[in-house]
Amino acid sequence: MKQISYILRVKKLGTEDSTAWDEPMNEYVENGVTVEEHGKSIIDYFNSTLRPHETARVFVAAIETEKSTKNLKHDWVKVSLVTERGGFDKYKCTMCNATGKRHGLSSGVDIDKKYEKYRFNCPNKKLN
């Protein structure tokens, strides 16, 4: 996994490009996913969940920012075979054995309290 940071430029369906606005994005994605692919998937998801009174969005551009594609320190792998009761998947870092959970459709792993001090810095050695 890697972290990407970019500006997602969107507009409402049927409007001029000059009405587009920018949404800052900072997400964790699988390696190989580009900011354009991620941005389009966000818009597709939004449009697939529209309520009757909402207007569809159109992808205009994805503009990388300087900290884009920064590699994560932890190397998370899914260890639960199926989604657990409560709507989360269990993950484990292959480098330090820290554990965490990914809830719902979020793309980030929330590290377990036991390993909180390693949230941003993997010690690169096996922990208990």
Inter-CA distances, 85 with 3, 8, 66, 68, 91, Å: 27, 33, 39, 34, 15
More confident residue, 66 or 98: 98
pLDDT at 73 over 80: no
Band of residue 95 on the pLDDT scale cut at 50, 70, 90: confident
Task: Give the pTM.
Answer: 0.53
Band of residue 128 on the pLDDT scale cut at 50, 70, 90: low
